[in-house]
Every structure is written in C-alpha cells, then in structure tokens.
Chains A and B, each alone.
Chain A
C-alpha cells in the first residue's frame, strides 16, 4: 500500500499545481457522498467558483495519500493555488467571515460576490 500512497502523493502534487482551486472530496461536485463534502462543494458551486473535484472514494491511494500530504486527517480538503486552506469547518468559517472572498480575490480567482453575500445573509 505504501508505494500506492507515494504515487498518489505525486498525483496530488500535480493536481494542486495544475489547478487553481482543487477540492478533494467524497463523491463529485454534482454527486457528493458525504455531508461535509457536500457543504463545501455546495458553497463553491453556489459562488460559481471554477474548481477541480477529486473523488477520494474512487482511489484508496489518494484517500490515504491526501491525509499525509496535508497532515490533515479528514475529507474534504480545499486547496487554492497549491496551498491547503482547510476542511469543512474552516472553509465554512472563512465563507461566513468573508476571508474566503479575500483569498479568492488575492489569487485572481473569479467568483460570484452577490452569491457570497447571500450565503452570509442566510446565515445571519
């Protein structure tokens, strides 16, 4: 299994380098298979962020490798410009505080600002 994880880590590095925004999740952006993954994918979808989704359930090597890669034990995991941003709790907090908007802006990633505001209003 360890060499599967090593190759997976190489694939992970390539993926987070090749895509501005990557979400390692259970399921896919259109068919999430876990509440936490669904929440983060839902936020990104609603804010019209263009991102690559990686279904860790489809590859056990990736599922274990991602946890070593980021030294973070849970899924989902969001990456922006190759940098690990956080899991469901952190991304939710950052969305509500506006920090996610700032991070996307700083990295030149387009998103729907009105949608972001609507999320904050809905979560009053």
Chain B
C-alpha cells in the first residue's frame, strides 16, 4: 500500500511540530521519497541519532518487508545558527 507525500510529512510533523520538512517524490510510485528535515532538536546530535528519531516518527512504515515505504532518502540538519 504506497504512501502519499503528505502522509509522510504529517507523520514526521507529529514528532517534529516546528520542523521545516521537504518531501520529494523520487519515482512517482508512492514508495521512493526523499525527505529533508531541519529541526532544532537535532542540534548536538550526530546523523545516526537524528535519523533514528525520524525513523521512530515513521512508526514502522519503513520496515521494508512489510512496511509501506521501501526507500526514504533522509537528510537531517539542525537550523543554521
């Protein structure tokens, strides 16, 4: 069951209400997206910690074998000072 870009943004927004979120549809098949998230909560965290938080926000949608999303290219950043 493919996902819509808006669904992904809403899910991420639930955990990161103030974040700047940009979702790009890479293939038009509801399965391959890129997401860029800029949020203050990432400050001081390394990439793995930042992206773990985003995957947690997606609540299992990213689990490959039975998850809806096969590919989500993630870019996470803290806002520039």
Contact = CB atoms under 8 A, between A and B. Distances in A.
A90 B55 CA distance: 14
B3 interface: no
B47 interface: yes
A74 B62 contact: yes
A73 B63 contact: yes
Contact of A73 (B48, B55, B75): B55
A63 B65 contact: yes
A36 interface: yes
A36 B64 CA distance: 13
B63 A67 contact: yes
Nearest to B48: A86
Contacts of A84: 48
Given A36-B71, A89-B51, A90-B51, 7 more contacts: A72-B48, A73-B64, A75-B64, A85-B48, A86-B51, A89-B75, A93-B47
Tell me what chain B mostly uses at the interface: helix, strand, loop, or mixed: mixed
Contact of B62 (A71, A73, A86, A90): A73
Interface string B58-71: 10101111010001
16 contacts: A63-B65, A71-B52, A72-B48, A72-B52, A72-B55, A73-B55, A73-B63, A73-B67, A74-B62, A75-B64, A84-B48, A87-B51, A89-B51, A89-B74, A90-B48, A93-B47
B62 to A, nearest CB: 4
B68 to A, nearest CB: 12
A74 B51 CA distance: 11
B1 to A, nearest CB: 17
Contacts of B48: 72, 84-86, 90
B47 A86 contact: yes
Given A71-B52, A72-B52, A89 B64 contact: no
